[in-house]
């Protein structure tokens, strides 16, 4: 055994050990079959050109193709792959053994893991729009001994194998909508796992099909390279101050000059007056705020900022890569950084700029307290065909897409 091979095996073992420990720290339990698949598939065979240490980092994706500065294909970070496979295994009744799976977005590694999970009586088909990507996936799968995975070069916006149904469709590129072909290719009660941009924030949603509708079973925070082809949807950025931007994921219109004038006014800060332990998970709070802002008739946007703008005090967002914000004529308001006390507990806050800043921050921290008082409810996403009448929609906040009507429900726990 060569030194490199031995080192790769040690790194591989350490990566999976780390993933199992990370799951436990998040309060999750990694399914034994997912752990076994992760231990079986040598990831470095799917990241040619990357150092072994890079291939086996639990928290790092490996970019395999760029166009200019934009990453258009990658082998996803192992922690994210593990969580999405766990979502799939949990949502598919009876687990994945013997199931027929369609993967949309081909890196090769995830398809190999799926092949391990479905076993000899199952099947895996993986599709990508880019011939260079599918050729590379085919070569890597063959080198790793998974030459029975079917690799297809096509735009998955359309049916891959017309008339065929799959028990699981798992998408490994960031999607903005659910095309009819995906639902149509799912078996009744089949599962779709997809990184979906919802109110400007990407979640991996595991959803089950019932007729022409999908209802979420679980969701996780994530990030992926964007969908190409007919399903692509441009994310727009509007500059409102030096180093401060609004990310617009829907068909929104924003007066950048008006927002710039608001953001130039001094910040007003308000606090929710709560004491939360360090491990409190706030991911679902952002979707709660998005739904409440929308339902109140305000415009919901996502604030992003460069570090220099944060350091200079221009804005103080909770997360500079994407913080929920509300716009109206008199204020620009967003969730702010946390306030820690001497007991290592933290408070939630909001910042706003503009003549109605005090009103806006008071409203937002009230929404935060309402989320906590409701038991920090988890969101449920319903996806229905475009054109579904309002009277046939479940209760929740409606977001209309090209092919679908999304309804986000947050029921108190």
Q: Which helix (H) or strand (E) holds 132?
A: helix 131-143
Do 301 and 234 meet the contact criterion of CB atoms below 8 Å apart? no
- Cα dist. 52→6, 49, 78 in Å? 11, 9, 14
Residue in the block written with tokens 């409440």? 292
Of the residues 76, 218, 336, 404, only one is catalytic, namely: 76
Task: Record the tokens describing residue 109, joined without a space.
Answer: 């590694």
Do 412 and 371 meet the contact criterion of CB atoms below 8 Å apart? no
Q: Are strands 150-153 and 123-128 parallel, antiparallel or unpaired?
A: parallel
Could you confirm whether 291 is annotated as catalytic?
no
Backbone angles phi, psi at 147, to 5 degrees: -80, 0
**Closest C-alpha among 18, 118, 98 to residue 60:** 18
User: How far is Cα 88 from Cα 45, in angstroms, rounded to an integer?
Assistant: 24
C-alpha triplet 13, 18, 22: angle, nearest 5°: 155
Do 56 and 44 meet the contact criterion of CB atoms below 8 Å apart? yes
**Closest C-alpha among 85, 34, 43 to residue 62:** 43
Q: Which residues pair with 339 in a beta bridge?
A: 347
User: How far is Cα 251 from Cα 64, in angstroms, rounded to an integer?
Assistant: 31
User: How far is Cα 6 from Cα 8, in angstroms, rounded to an integer?
Assistant: 5
Q: What is the DSSP string of 161-173?
A: STT--EEEEEE-S
Do 230 and 157 meet the contact criterion of CB atoms below 8 Å apart? yes
Which are the catalytic amino acids? Answer: 76
């Amino acid at each position: 055994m060569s030194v490199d091979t031995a080192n790769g095996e040690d790194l591989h073992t350490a990566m999976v050990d780390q993933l199992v420990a990370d799951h436990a720290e998040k309060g999750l339990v990694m399914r034994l079959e997912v752990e076994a698949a992760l231990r079986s598939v040598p990831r470095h065979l799917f990241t040619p050109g990357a150092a072994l240490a890079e291939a086996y980092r639990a928290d790092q994706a490996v970019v395999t193709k760029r166009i200019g500065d934009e990453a258009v294909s990658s082998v996803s970070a192992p922690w994210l792959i593990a969580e999405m496979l766990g979502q799939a295994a949990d949502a598919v009744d009876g687990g994945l053994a013997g199931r027929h799976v369609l993967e949309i977005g081909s890196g090769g590694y995830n398809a190999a893991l799926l092949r391990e999970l479905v076993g000899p009586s199952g099947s895996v088909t993986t599709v990508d729009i880019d011939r260079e990507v599918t050729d590379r996936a085919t070569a890597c799968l063959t080198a790793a001994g998974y030459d029975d995975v079917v690799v297809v070069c096509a735009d998955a916006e359309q049916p891959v194998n017309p008339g065929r149904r799959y028990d699981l469709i798992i998408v490994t590129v960031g999607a903005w909508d659910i095309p009819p072909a995906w639902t149509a290719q799912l078996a009744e009660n089949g599962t779709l796992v997809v990184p979906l941009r919802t109110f400007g924030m990407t979640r991996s949603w595991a959803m089950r099909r019932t007729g022409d509708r999908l209802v979420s079973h679980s969701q996780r925070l994530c990030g992926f390279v964007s969908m190409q082809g007919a399903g692509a949807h441009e994310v727009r950025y509007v500059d409102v101050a030096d180093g401060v931007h609004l990310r617009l994921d829907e068909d929104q219109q924003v007066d950048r000059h008006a927002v710039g004038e608001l953001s130039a006014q001094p910040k007003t800060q308000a606090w929710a007056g709560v004491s939360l332990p360090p491990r409190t998970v706030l991911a679902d709070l952002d979707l709660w705020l998005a739904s409440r802002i929308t339902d109140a008739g305000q415009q919901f946007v996502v604030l992003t900022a460069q570090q220099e703008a944060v350091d200079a005090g221009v804005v103080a967002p909770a997360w500079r890569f994407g913080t929920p914000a509300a716009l109206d004529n008199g204020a620009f308001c967003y969730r702010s950084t946390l306030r820690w006390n001497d007991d290592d507990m933290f408070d939630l806050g909001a910042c706003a700029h503009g003549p109605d800043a005090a009103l806006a921050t008071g409203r937002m921290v009230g929404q935060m307290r309402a989320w906590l008082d409701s038991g920090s409810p988890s969101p449920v996403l319903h996806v229905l065909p475009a054109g579904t009448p309002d009277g046939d929609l479940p209760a929740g906040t409606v977001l209309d897409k090209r092919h679908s009507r999304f309804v986000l429900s947050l029921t108190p726990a």
